[in-house]
Amino acid sequence: MLPEMSRESVAEWLTVNGWTPERDISEKAGEFIHHAIQESNEEGCPVVAFEGVENFIRSYGLLRLTHPSDPKESLIINPTGGYEGDFREIEELAQEIGKRLFRVGYDMPEGGIFVLAEDGSLYYLHHTGTYYLGADEYEAFSNWVRGNLQSV
């Protein structure tokens, strides 16, 4: 496992991947969120966007965050990327942990789904299980890069 990353090193990694603290894709963010909500309704597991989702997508949406030690691995921040049945899994996790959740991205080539909770924490739904990534995006990004996944 890679060593723990400081908030500054996570910010540097984000910057290398096209992020800036002022980044704001508000127009696109609304479209993405609306599409994800429609998809969840079609699956019969409706989700509701909350303020944290909008803030997260505005700041990180459309970024492809390449893993620093393996350029074949990346985290794509886009709530429209996922698989049929994701919202059922998200609904089950939400009931289990007692928090509203919203899909915000996925990683490649693993195909795991990143889910944001209403308290700002992030979770990772993967074919091997469900994992807690961190209390905020910096901790979650660091843990994803390091492969530090805590089973839920």
The residue type of 129 is G
Pairing verdict, β 113-117 and 101-108? antiparallel
Please write the tens of the pLDDT for every residue from 91-132: 999 999 999 999 999 999 999 999 999 999 999 999 999 999
d(CA 82, CA 79): 8
Domain residues for the domain of 70 are 7-151
Average pLDDT over residues 71-90: 89
28 within some domain? yes
Query: Dihedral sign, CA of 12, 15, 20, 26?
Result: negative
2 within some domain? no
> What percent of the chain stands above pLDDT 90?
89
1 within some domain? no
- Are 1 and 142 a contacting pair, CB within 8 Å? no
Q: What is the pLDDT of residue 80?
A: 85
11 within some domain? yes
Is the pLDDT at 2 greater than 80? The verdict is: no
How many structural domains are present in the chain? 1
Which residue's entry shows tokens 């794509």?
76
Alpha helices in the chain (DSSP H): 7-16, 26-42, 51-60, 86-97, 137-146
115 within some domain? yes
- Distances in whole angstroms, Cα of residue 96 to Cα of each of 9, 80, 90, 108: 33, 23, 10, 26
Is the pLDDT at 44 greater than 80? The verdict is: yes
119 within some domain? yes
